[in-house]
Amino acid sequence: MSNKLTVTQASVLGANATGFGYLIEHDAGYISPEDKRNLPFINEMKKLESGDQALAEPYYVYAVLQKYGVKNRNGRIYPEDILKPKVEDYRKLVDDRRAVGELDHPESSVISGDRISHNIVEMWWEGNVLMGKLEILMTPGFINLGIASTLGDHVGNLLRHKIKVGVSSRGVGSVEDVQGIQLVQNDFELICWDVVTNPSTPGSWIFHDMNKSKDFKEEIAENKNTLIKGLDDFLLG
């Protein structure tokens, strides 16, 4: 029976496992607040703190998406000749504005419309590192009032607080042990990159800056303050 026929029955391949299944790499990449390209987004988010007018769209952040030729935390290596062609295939989704992902992905090959939080609008290679430009998909309610009603809104709120956030790849395919090395095989199919808040993987986060110890204060109109403070308590408490 082919892998395509068994994909709905596939399970997640854990660390150092071989065979066919879902390949979820929690340490695929990260978004760094120290990257100067991310400062416009962070500064725009600060408007919610001061009660300024509605935020300006669109909202972009830059991220490390994945690497080839490097063993990840699951003990797997994505060879250059496997990952690069799959990334090229994925560019079709980028061009069509369909390169979407979720917040805290499920263990599934399906991307759920009501869980979409971002869309990748550009990808490029810097050596063996795949970089990406992500548009955070936030609603008018969050942009104007700070009311989070979608997962894109929640990502925006987490980022404005500089909460640690990572990037996780999601795919399906086979892994084989080749002389003690777990290599991803050419039947690998890339599903998407998700934004994750799972704190189990070092080095895959958006980190707090050194001023994070300073208490966060809402300095906005009273009606907005109540809404956002309640959201902060829910997400951060």
The whole-angstrom separation of Cα 194 and Cα 165 is 10
Does any domain span residue 163? yes
Does any domain span residue 227? no
Does any domain span residue 10? no
Does any domain span residue 212? no
- Segment 118-157, tens digit of pLDDT: 999 999 999 998 999 999 999 888 877 778 899 999 988 8
Residue 37: count other Cβ atoms within 10 Å of its Cβ: 13
Q: How many domains does the chain have?
A: 1
Q: For residue 158, what pLDDT is reported?
A: 82
Does any domain span residue 221? no
Does any domain span residue 171? yes
Alpha-carbon Rg of the chain, whole angstroms? 19
Does any domain span residue 188? yes
How sure is the predictor about 2, in pLDDT bands with cuts at 50, 70 and 90? Answer: very low
Does any domain span residue 215? no
Q: For residue 139, what pLDDT is reported?
A: 87
Q: For residue 15, what pLDDT is reported?
A: 79
SS3 for 145? helix
Spell out where 34-73 has E strands. 60-67
| Stronger pLDDT, 192 or 203, i.e. the higher one | 192
Which of 108, 105, 99, 94 shows the shortest CA–CA distance to 28? 105
SS3 for 214? coil
Q: For residue 93, what pLDDT is reported?
A: 96
| Stronger pLDDT, 223 or 173, i.e. the higher one | 173
Beta pairing, strands 181-184 & 76-77: parallel
How sure is the predictor about 42, in pLDDT bands with cuts at 50, 70 and 90? Answer: low
Residue 185: burial class (beta carbons within 10 Å; 0-12, 13-18, 19+): middle
SS3 for 120? strand
- Write out the residue range of the structural domain in which residue 140 sits: 19-207
* pLDDT average, residue stretch 161-188: 88
